[in-house]
Amino acid sequence: MRRAGFTMIELIFVIVILGILSAVALPKFIGVSEQAHEGKLKAYVGTLNRTVAPALWSKSLTDNNKGSIKYMNVADVRNQITPPDEIDSNVTVSTCADANVSTPGSVATATVGTTTYDIGCIDGSEVEAPRFFLYRGAIATGKLLVGDLPPQP
């Protein structure tokens, strides 16, 4: 006589094994979405530093503004690169801090879940391109994620 199906003990073992696997795997997947959004912001700030800042700096030097990008408007930045959806407002370079200061000016904020990120900028000069920074939290108190701060004067 053949039986079709599983015994109760076999089903219990399968449920226990699935429970153990989910208990091990679930914590690994819980912050993946926020990590992906943070990675997107890091990539954006990296692109600002590698391609957009030198292009804006070059335009500033050509326009006889001594390397400063503060006079540029939002469209000048948006024409170079479109900000990711995580950014709450437009990137406004008019709020860049003056060249050779130690604390960047906040040019945009972003929100991922409950975490706020600040994108900071130090303006360019005749000899140095502007630089962008990413902070987790406010610039004054947050953790620097992307960018190298200038040496203290």
- Res 2 pLDDT > 70: no
> Which tokens in the block code for residue 79?
């024409």
Rounded to an integer, the average pLDDT of 56-77 is: 90
- Res 80 pLDDT > 90: no
Percent of the chain with pLDDT over 90: 42
Unique residue bearing structure tokens 């140095």: 128
Residues 88-129 pLDDT 10s: 878 888 899 998 788 889 999 999 888 999 999 999 999 999
Listed in sequence order, the DSSP H helices in 48-146 are 53-62, 74-78
Q: Write down how long the chain is.
A: 153
- Res 148 pLDDT > 80: no
Distance of CA 84 to the CA centre of its chain: 9
* Domain range list for the chain: 32-146
Residue 153's pLDDT band (cuts 50, 70, 90): very low
Radius of gyration (C-alpha) of the chain in whole angstroms: 24
Q: Which of 1-5, 28-32, 94-98 has the highest mean pLDDT?
A: 94-98
pTM exceeds 0.85: no
